[in-house]
Amino acid sequence: MINQTLILIQCRDAVGLVGLIANTVAAHHLNIVTMREYVDEAANRFYVRIVCAGETTEPERLIEELTQRLPAGASVKLNPPQQKRFAILVTKEHHCLGDIIVRHFFNTLGAEVCCVVGNYDDLSAFTARFDIPFHHVSHEGKSREEFEEQVAAVLQSYQPDYLVLAKFMRILSPDFVARYPGRVINIHHSFLPAFIGANPYKQAYVRGVKLIGATAHFVTNDLDEGPIIAQDIRTINHSYTVKDMVRAGKEVEKSVLSKALALVIEDRVIITGNKTVVFE
């Protein structure tokens, strides 16, 4: 397999950026294989994902030269870790966790699942079948701060690149989220904000909805309002029972989370404010 160099850049837009970047990369004897760029005209921001054949012998110098030649405040990332490490946080639902672990087992995930942390131990036997460490950290009888400190202590020993909330049904505090900025990924149904609280599928059934969807996003301090990575929907009709809707909802959640993780693993997602630029 040919060695490759991946470059991610975001900066203020200006005339001639593509040519400037191409010339700088060429000076390091790198051949551009793919170059996907996007300009947010309203924000005057430029984003680009570049894949080059070959590896530079002076990566620090390449970053320095690009940073100096690009507009002030540019962000330049070179070769982010290719083998991402995921820590999975769960409660009791198994469908998203199961999909991730099966992909991990058959080496199709493209990342390493380093551990699973659950506030219930219901899924520990499942993860044990795949030799993945499971840590039960109960929330019962503890303040949110105490619970999160114990979870953070477990995660500290694994040093994950990302936390994946695979139907983890606990609201994380701003202090906890701040430990992993832009590195916590959540999945939830897309009935929000129409059907809030318990039994959203029953509420949707009563209302007679015709679409079921899911959203994968980065977690911020605003509940379920962080930068969106991926979304999808399934059409349903009047014949669907509540159980049918729940089943369809779980399928779309698995699909959307899988897509979101693939995009993150391949470094195709750039966070910009409360939005994302996704180079699919």
Cite the active site residues.
Answer: 224
Are β-strands 275-278 and 111-118 bridged in parallel, bridged antiparallel, or unpaired?
unpaired
Helices (H) and strands (E) in the chain, counts: 8, 13
Phi, psi of 63 (to 5 degrees): -60, -45
User: Of 126, 144, 131, whose CA–CA distance to 90 is shortest?
Assistant: 126
Which tokens belong to 44?
């005057």
User: Of 177, 184, 172, whose CA–CA distance to 216 is shortest?
Assistant: 184
Q: Is the dihedral of CA 219, 151, 169, 83 positive or negative?
A: positive
